[in-house]
Amino acid sequence: MSLDGLISGPDPDMENPLGIRGARLHEWLLKLAVLREYVGFEGGEVNASTQVVEEWLSNLGASIMGRNTFGGFPGAWDREKPPWPGWWGSNPPFHHPVFVLTHYARESIQLEGGTSFTFVTDGIESALRQARAAAAGRDVALIGGAETAGQYLTAGLVDEMEINLVPILLGSGKRLFEGLSDDMHGLRLIRTIVAPTAETPTVLHLKFAR
Amino acid sequence: MSLDGLISGPDPDMENPLGIRGARLHEWLLKLAVLREYVGFEGGEVNASTQVVEEWLSNLGASIMGRNTFGGFPGAWDREKPPWPGWWGSNPPFHHPVFVLTHYARESIQLEGGTSFTFVTDGIESALRQARAAAAGRDVALIGGAETAGQYLTAGLVDEMEINLVPILLGSGKRLFEGLSDDMHGLRLIRTIVAPTAETPTVLHLKFAR
């Protein structure tokens, strides 16, 4: 999230799925060795963010995302014949079952590297139930986007929330917290990490838990 | 600012000038000994926030605010006869000259304890010029609100910005960053303080400077 509360910039399209300059929100993540290794690349940095990403990935069994996070900007993938396979390519970086919230029923997809996409049309609780079963005791991660996160937060179904706050402005785009109440459902800030170093901060990791 | 980017809650009125639950954003400040001493009270806490407030107050010579920060919710003070004296009472907590941006010309007010309110109708640069002259080499603080802060930020006239981020949701209210571009005008995050302690965080102080 940017300082002005956005998780993407304006005018998302195929070349800039996170909108204009929105990719700046993920720069801290994409250069980390722990993330690069998870998605199959070598090299990268080890810094104060490493612990945060290790906590996210180390016990991960399944993920949940909204349809736009799966497959692009509003309206993009329903128009495609054959169906738009999503942003994530033939070997997605998840390597576990992913459950996609959508109003449009669709066959599951099994892809290289252990990633599957299962499309869930009967709501967030069903998606969570299926993801928990698939995770078999490991963690279920909520990838995004903002509406999906807001729905789970509002339903009181979020156990932990990590806000990766990048201290820049994007001006306009998609807000993370939009149309919610003031109810954090028992979540409170329990840990702050400044990265890569306290002297050269480019991201703040704010961990909320019950 | 709340986690959802708000600096006040919904439905501000005379009893809740910061809107419903908006006062929670200032709780960390009002309990500090350094703030209480400045406004004429005894007691209070010393914790990791103390340094931040000392930096703000120690070399302060003048302040600038918008008309709603001076005198209430939209429309409140222009309707009053005699003119609404503002939220701040007969002995305001500033103890120095305050310049109020407004479209409505009005006589200056000199109050107890060294606070004066001067009403500036010819724009933000004029207000800054007058405040700098009054401060005579000391700091000029920009008190708020959001529109005033945004105008100075957009004009590139902000040298330092301290965001006091309270990790709660307010749901709706006034956004600090609304309708701005992505231009921080050279400001970047230089310091983060978690207070009152890293183990029990209730506010994050994010200092931006050139």
pLDDT value, residue A140: 98
Is residue B148 within 8 A of residue B101, CB to CB? The reply is yes
Task: For chain B, report the end-to-end CA distance as a whole number of angstroms.
Answer: 21
Q: How far apart are CA B45 and CA B34, in angstroms?
A: 8
pTM score, whole prediction: 0.92
Residues of B in contact with A193 (CB under 8 A): none
Quick check: A200 contacting B, CB < 8 Å?
Answer: no
Rounded to 10 degrees, what is the CA torsion of B101, B102, B104, B110? Answer: -40
pLDDT value, residue A75: 54
The one-letter amino acid at B53 = V
Q: B3, A163: Cβ pair inside 8 Å?
A: yes
Quick check: B198 contacting A, CB < 8 Å?
Answer: yes
pLDDT value, residue A18: 87
Rounded to 10 degrees, what is the CA torsion of A174, A176, A180, A181? Answer: -140
Is residue B146 within 8 A of residue B74, CB to CB? The reply is no
Q: B177, A3: Cβ pair inside 8 Å?
A: yes
Write out the DSSP string of B27-73. Answer: HHHHTBHHHHHHTT----B-STTHHHHHHHHTTEEEEEEEHHHHH-S
Q: Which of A175, A190, A204 sits opposite B192 (nearest CB)?
A: A204
User: Which residue(s) pair with B142 in the sheet?
Assistant: B64
Per-residue pLDDT tens, chain A, 210 aa: give them: 999 999 999 988 777 888 889 999 999 999 999 999 998 899 999 999 999 999 999 999 999 999 888 875 445 555 555 556 677 888 889 999 999 999 888 889 898 899 999 999 999 999 999 999 999 999 999 998 999 999 999 999 999 999 999 999 999 999 999 999 999 999 999 999 999 998 899 999 999 999
Helix, strand, or coil here: A147? helix
Q: Which of B118, B116, B145, B146 is nearest to B130 (CA)?
A: B118
Q: How far apart are CA A201 and CA B9, in angstroms?
A: 29
Q: B167, A181: Cβ pair inside 8 Å?
A: no
- The residue of chain B nearest to residue A5, with distances taken between CA atoms, is B5
Low-confidence stretches of chain B (pLDDT < 70) are 72-85
Q: Which residue has the tokens 């001006």?
A: A171
Mean per-residue pLDDT of chain B: 91
- What tokens does A155 get? 């339903």
Quick check: B168 contacting A, CB < 8 Å?
Answer: yes
Q: Which residue has the tokens 């290790």?
A: A54
pLDDT value, residue B106: 85
Is residue A91 within 8 A of residue A111, CB to CB? The reply is yes
